[in-house]
Amino acid sequence: MSSSVAVREIRLALLGFGTIGRAVALAAPAYGVQCVSALVQHPERHAASAGLTLERDGSRILDADVDVIVEALGGVEPARTLVAAALERGIPVVTANKSLLAAHGPELRARAALAGVPLLYEAAVVAGVPFVGALTSRAGLRSVTRITGILNGTSHAITTAIERGESFAAALADAQARGYAEPDSSADVSGRDAAEKLAILLQLCGAPNTTAADIERTGIDALTAADFAAARGRGGVIKPMATATLGPNGWTANVGPAFVPSTHLFAGLSGVTNALELQPRVGPPITFVGPGAGPEITAQTILDDVIEAVR
């Protein structure tokens, strides 16, 4: 005689229903996840969605009968206040909000630990390469002495196009048309997005008080095809790099266009691909490579975290 046990769908609430929030809601059923409510400023501007209640009031989201809250508001406030409140109520939280974590990551991780619930954010650094959970559980991460990476897929797509001979303006317009870049792409172009991601990594690598403001950054908007030609003449390429090195007086970190020798793995990467190389104190570097832009990739990683949060 055989028997079956019904598996209840995971119920989640969304804080925010923009590009990322909608992508999560669209992909959720394939993961056995039901989006039951979403916080929006203007419910009347959104088409009705079966089974999804749109709310203006964040407290109603927190009061809902859900297993996980996905924060997709972006920015620091009201995201910080709502995430902190959810954690204090014992509700697991998943986020891809690098601005929030760069500014308040240590505080929120402490709140999550005190409440005994997960705060997961694999999609906040390299959206298509889940690595945070694996590394934070290993002592090797605490011994990292150098971080090198291409952490912003949009700026990488733009610099790839400039290398092919396009102007910065044309490359940016193409990235926006493909959905890689937002209409306001200042965070990508200025290096702020990559600096926030690097700040999160540094927080996890023993510099818990690091914020994006501590990281020197240079934008990519002044690059021209001539710069890339000069780099080729030197036997390399230009990439939008994020770098941090641990020295006797602590970490030094910067974000901006940098020369990469053609012999380095990063030199052969293009488009929206992200890459991260962590050099531990002992042993060879650990390298991660994967897609780094697009709402679908981000939503997939968020939903992987949702599943992990309720295990």
Residue 28 and residue 299: Cα distance in Å, rounded? 9
Q: Which residue has the tokens 């939503």?
A: 299
Q: Among the options 197, 202, 244, 290, which is catalytic?
A: 197
Q: Take residue 88 and report the two structure tokens written for it.
A: 């204090």
Of residues 288 and 292, more confidence is placed in: 288
pLDDT in tens, 129-157: 777 876 676 666 668 999 999 999 999 99
Q: Which residues pair with 94 in a beta bridge?
A: 70, 120
Residue 241 and residue 264: Cα distance in Å, rounded? 13
Residue 274 and residue 150: Cα distance in Å, rounded? 5
Whole-number pLDDT of residue 194: 97
User: Do residues 236 and 262 touch, judged by C-beta distance below 8 A?
Assistant: yes
The Cα angle at residue 185 between residues 183 and 189, in degrees rounded to 5: 155
Whole-number pLDDT of residue 4: 42
In this prediction, residue 22 has a pLDDT band, given cuts at 50, 70 and 90, of very high
pLDDT in tens, 167-176: 999 999 998 8
98 given a catalytic annotation: no
Which domains, from first to last, does the chain contain?
Answer: 10-127+296-309 (3.40.50.720), 133-292 (3.30.360.10)
Whole-number pLDDT of residue 290: 85
Whole-number pLDDT of residue 128: 79
- pLDDT(230) > 80: yes
pTM of the entire predicted model: 0.90
Q: What is the mean pLDDT of the chain?
A: 90
- pLDDT(47) > 80: no
